[in-house]
Structure 1
């Protein structure tokens, strides 16, 4: 994925997909001398700061609609199901995957297009429980980037479009609870992807002067056992 050098808005990782990771980890092998700080925002703090009107607005499910080229949806299903033959993934395979990943809080469907791509519609919560404590968090992709695919269209379950004015209001609110990570070589940061949104300030150095890696994992549960070891 080419994320360019521009600033990146706050988002949870892979939040426009049915299987976002529970936890993400960053490792800075080579840190930029200026700019390109990773931004992090506590979605629970944002949730607590939402006005009653915004809490009511985002208590309903959020719908994300976008066009996915054939190679994109084939690769995603192949990765999610552990298959190596991505180019052989069929629409039937996609429908099987959709059925298997549908739940009370997540529904999705596709509308096949004539070029092999699909119009993908995903309905998920904009406010969710974090992985460890079960606290409510405003954690989603409303303010996030769109790399290598069509920019998603966001609507609420009642049909209300999430317009620029609402996004601007959310941006200003989230910025109040956003911190910068000024990377040093060797730093590691681990985030609860169901609570902490992340982004990036603009990169102000050549890309060769910055190496930041990300890893992802599933399987975190509420009420984790803590050890003093």
Structure 2
């Protein structure tokens, strides 16, 4: 265990307490690389959720490279059937100026919404997206703890879909699926 890992391991409870109290934590000036960060996430989180559209950097971390355009307020991994309760970002190279991340207290926003909007958001909604074969194989392999994604077939996909109510798939081109 290196010095950074030792320092971080003593603060896991502090990090968790701050998450509970204010909903976010900024770790600044820590001696961390992506592997140390991945270890921290493994220690703090009981389960890890993956977006099949992203490239894994480590077993616990994925690369997020959406370009340089501003992105509006959104929920991370909001269209996955297994959303996480903690979202964490590690910046290997942070912008020297002009970069911003907006934090939003969704509970506070919900409490202030008019009742008509609360009712609208309480109704079921369907999100659809096309998943190429390699992408759904990777996601199902991760979810079912299968080492080789290429070994994932229709049977494993059907099992995964049956695990979480409300999911649907339809065959699409090139062995991909339309996922709802």
TM value normalised by structure 1: 0.48
Report which of the two has the higher share of helix.
2
Is 1:58 aligned to 2:121, yes or no? yes
Matches within 5 A, 1:13-162: 13-102=76-165, 107-121=166-180
CA distance in 2, matches of 1:55, 1:26: 30
C-alpha displacement of 1:29: 4.9
2:22 match: none
Q: Which runs of 4+ in 1 moved over 4 A?
A: none
1:211 match: none
CA-to-aligned-CA distance 1:173-228 (integer Å, 9 cap, x gap): xxxxxxxxxxxxxxxxxxxxxxxxxxxxxxxxxxxxxxxxxxxxxxxxxxxxxxxx
Structure 2 gaps, min length 5? 1-53, 55-64
What's the RMSD between the two structures over aligned residues?
1.6
CA-to-aligned-CA distance 1:51-75 (integer Å, 9 cap, x gap): 2221111111121011111111111
Partner of 2:120, secondary structure, is helix
Report 1 or 2 for greater relative contact order, CA contacts < 8 Å, sequence distance ≥ 6. Answer: 1
Matches within 5 A, 1:189-200: none
CA distance in 1, matches of 2:174, 2:90: 39
C-alpha displacement of 1:13: 2.1
Structure 1 gaps, min length 5? 122-229
Distance 1:35 1:84, change over 3 A: same
C-alpha displacement of 1:28: 4.2
Distance 1:58 1:115, change over 3 A: same
Partner of 1:14, secondary structure, is coil
Distance 1:37 1:80, change over 3 A: same
